[in-house]
Structure 1
Amino acid sequence: MKTYIFLANGFEILETFSPVDVLKRCGAEVITVSTEKDLFVSSSQNNIVKADVMLNEIDYKDADLVVIPGGYPGYVNLRENKEVVDIVKYFLENDKYVASICGGPTIFSHNKIANGAKITAHSSVRKEIEENHIYVDVPTHVDGKIITGVGAGLALNFAFKIAEQFFTKEKIEEVKKGMELI
């Protein structure tokens, strides 16, 4: 299972690295992708992180999942990046998974992708989501191949909801036990 997680300046650390951690523990190949001018991306907390690769270096068609984290202004930078939007469209058109959390799900509403889908997101973007989608007031939600979450405080729930789509219940329980969650 191969995952690309997109990073833009202003990304939220917990929403990005909770899926990185959980999916790697499950055995996935997880690659962070800079959408900036180089590999160094600044979080919304002003921490500098070095991504694994640049956006122009990936062959996104070989992945099973892309993740759009939140964080301000990271999610705005991602939803306005034509390449990222085109990749999200490709994934949904080709029955592949897209996961997004916090303000990240506005990539769907802002670009009129997957209209009518049931999506959760941070409460601050609810009105925008409701323009073309059905807002679901739950911590995480799966609608077909779209996985969404509400925000940083529930980033681990989001990460495990993603993992549940790809790994067995036994593997998930093993990972949770290793993390002292059960």
Structure 2
Amino acid sequence: MAKILLIAGDFVEDYEIMVPFQALQAMGHEVDAVCPEKREGDTIKTAIHDFEGDQTYTEKPGHRFTLNATFSEIDAADYEALVIPGGRSPEYLRLNERVLELVAYFVEHEKPVAAICHAAQLLAAAVSLEGHRVSAYPACAPEVRLAGGDYADIAVDQAVTSGRLVTAPAWPAHPEWLKQFNALLQ
């Protein structure tokens, strides 16, 4: 089974970190969840995003998520794949040079990358998306296009695989997103 790196930060979307973290472990994979400037055992705050008929999602306080690895101690070469959850954390994580280097490493070495919702902001900041069909929360479509990607406007419960990149618009896509990602890990 694969050793997977998961990068997140405060106000990551609750379901988009909890569900893949636990589901991938249940499938037999090893998942190290890290956050810049935090250590194993530290926690990050999550936010719950709901789709309640408004012009955008609503946001509510989520759970505290306990990290199980230390960001400053990881080496990308030790991992076979990367998961980037959405929420608000990709917005500011894309300002961290080491995070950008890690994301670029996985893409450049053609290792599987699973990105959901606002994670497209981090992808677009780290690498060219040229030649890739990429889904994301619709508000991130401009970033996908500016990074050269073909924005995939798909149903909220669907996912798309493009090369070694698996993307989805939001947490309702977890079954399809995780199924497609797991297929790349085999």
Give me the TM-score of the superposition, normalised by structure 2.
0.82
How far does residue 35 in structure 1 lie from its aligned partner after superposition?
1.9
1 CA distance for matches of 2:34 and 2:142? 29
1:28 alignment partner AA: H
Unaligned runs of 5+ in 1: 168-182
Unaligned runs of 5+ in 2: 48-60
2 CA distance for matches of 1:20 and 1:53? 13
* 2:39 is the alignment partner of 1:20: no
The equivalent of 1:52 in structure 2 is 68
1 CA distance for matches of 2:28 and 2:38? 30
Q: Residues 164-175 of structure 1: matches in 2 within 5 Å?
A: 164-167=183-186
1 CA distance for matches of 2:15 and 2:172? 8
Q: Higher helix share goes to which structure?
A: 1
Aligned residues: 166
> Aligned in 2, Cα 1:91/1:111: closer, same or farther, shift over 3 Å?
closer
The percentage of counterpart residues that share the same residue type is 24
2 CA distance for matches of 1:86 and 1:156? 29
CA contact (8 A) 1:68 1:78 kept: no
Give me the TM-score of the superposition, normalised by structure 1.
0.83
- Residue by residue over 1:66-110, the C-alpha shift from the partner in whole angstroms, topping out at 9 and shown as x without a partner, is 1111002x1112222211110111111112111110010122223
* 2:152 is the alignment partner of 1:133: no
SS in 1 for 2:113: strand
Q: Give the aligned CA root-mean-square deviation in angstroms.
A: 1.7
> Aligned in 2, Cα 1:21/1:50: closer, same or farther, shift over 3 Å?
closer
